[in-house]
């Protein structure tokens, strides 16, 4: 059996040690191990090694290397267990090794999916305008278990969600004054849905916000869009002009009586 002849600290990594052995052919490099593995197996000069013990040591060393790799990955921010698994798999680390490394990460409290999920939700709520629905999908993408997702999402305040939805609605309505009331309402609903707000929150936010324009404001919005369409269709025959202008403005959500009023205004200008 090979006998350990020398153990030396590696030049570029003071936490790893190179082990040299002699199997009867003179001293030669055998393998390297992490300091923890060196201590765990009490490796020292003159110690005899068998194949089984070396295999076990190298497996433990692989675990230690995977663990250290994961620690470096976790140093930047909190991660879910699934993210750590995916990262280590990309490093071409064997799954049995990853499993043991992840176990150690839980043991030393570097991993905790419940803490991760709660911190993730808090961060998204404090730094973005996303609703609970989108946050829920993002947690799923992070590999968080469905029951845990349900638990943390249930804790999201409906009042806070409504307050954010109202602010988004008011901001959107202010920026899109040229739209008709009907189209504006549709666009706001779609925008809030994309951001992950529930239908009940969306309805409440719209009810709380003045979206329906006063008649004069609606007519101003119609005129703004109608002028562009008038220039587009003005060279067409009268009947075709009226038909296309009416349909275009109707599709934009304006009521027919206002459309007729606008067309009359344009015809009286001529």
Question: What is the pLDDT at residue 127?
Answer: 94
- Rounded CA-CA distance 226/261 in Å is 11
**pLDDT band, very low/low/confident/very high, at 238 (cuts 50, 70, 90):** confident
Question: What is the pLDDT at residue 33?
Answer: 93
Question: What is the pLDDT at residue 148?
Answer: 96
Angle, nearest 10°, between helix axes 51-74 and 95-107? Answer: 60
Sorted by where each starts, the structural domains of the chain and their CATH numbers stand as 3-107 (1.10.10.10), 113-154 (1.10.10.10), 158-208 (1.10.10.10), 215-269 (1.10.10)
Question: What is the pLDDT at residue 228?
Answer: 87
State mean pLDDT over 27-33.
92
Alpha helices in the chain (DSSP H): 35-40, 51-74, 81-90, 95-107, 113-127, 132-141, 146-154, 158-175, 181-194, 199-208, 215-233, 238-251, 256-269
Question: What is the pLDDT at residue 49?
Answer: 92
- Rounded CA-CA distance 204/201 in Å is 5
Alpha carbon separation from 145 to 50, 96, 139, 152, 153 (Å, rounded): 43, 21, 9, 11, 12
Average pLDDT of the chain is 91
**Please, are residues 180 and 253 in contact by the beta-carbon 8 Å criterion?**
yes
Question: What is the pLDDT at residue 213?
Answer: 66
Asked whether residue 253 carries a pLDDT value surpassing 90, the answer given is: no
Asked whether residue 200 carries a pLDDT value surpassing 90, the answer given is: yes
Contacting residues for 263 by C-beta, under 8 A, at least 6 apart: 242, 245, 246
- Rounded CA-CA distance 185/252 in Å is 12
Is the dihedral angle over the CA atoms 253, 257, 263, 269 positive or is it negative? negative
**pLDDT band, very low/low/confident/very high, at 128 (cuts 50, 70, 90):** very high
Alpha carbon separation from 164 to 21, 34, 35, 132, 176 (Å, rounded): 67, 51, 52, 11, 18
Q: Which residue did the predictor score with more confidence, 216 or 159? A: 159
Task: Note the pLDDT tens digit of each residue in 82-109.
Answer: 999 999 999 999 999 999 999 999 999 9
Residue where the block lists tokens 């003045």? 210
**pLDDT band, very low/low/confident/very high, at 236 (cuts 50, 70, 90):** confident
């Amino acid at each position: 059996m090979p006998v350990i002849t020398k153990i030396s600290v590696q030049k570029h990594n003071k936490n790893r040690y190179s082990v040299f052995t002699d199997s009867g052919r003179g001293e030669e490099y055998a393998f390297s191990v992490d300091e923890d593995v060196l201590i765990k197996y009490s490796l020292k000069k003159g110690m005899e090694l068998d194949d089984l013990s070396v295999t076990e040591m190298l497996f433990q060393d692989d675990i230690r290397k995977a663990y250290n790799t994961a620690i470096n990955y976790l140093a930047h921010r909190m991660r879910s267990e699934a993210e750590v698994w995916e990262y280590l798999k990309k490093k071409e680390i064997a799954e049995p090794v990853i499993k043991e490394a992840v176990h150690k990460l839980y043991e030393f409290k570097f991993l905790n999916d419940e803490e991760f999920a709660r911190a993730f939700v808090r961060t998204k709520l404090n730094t973005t305008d996303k609703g609970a629905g989108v946050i829920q999908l993002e947690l799923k993408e992070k590999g968080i278990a469905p029951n845990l997702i349900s638990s943390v999402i249930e804790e999201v305040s409906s009042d806070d969600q409504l307050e954010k939805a109202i602010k988004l609605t008011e901001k959107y309505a202010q920026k899109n004054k040229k739209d008709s009331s009907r189209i504006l309402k549709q666009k706001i609903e779609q925008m809030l849905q994309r951001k992950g707000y529930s239908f009940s929150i969306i309805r409440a936010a719209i009810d709380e916000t003045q979206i329906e324009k006063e008649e004069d404001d609606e007519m101003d919005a119609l005129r703004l869009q109608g002028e562009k369409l008038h220039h587009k269709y003005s060279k067409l025959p009268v009947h075709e002009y009226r038909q296309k202008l009416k349909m275009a403005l109707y599709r934009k959500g304006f009521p027919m009586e206002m459309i007729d009023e606008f067309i009359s205004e344009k015809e009286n200008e001529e």
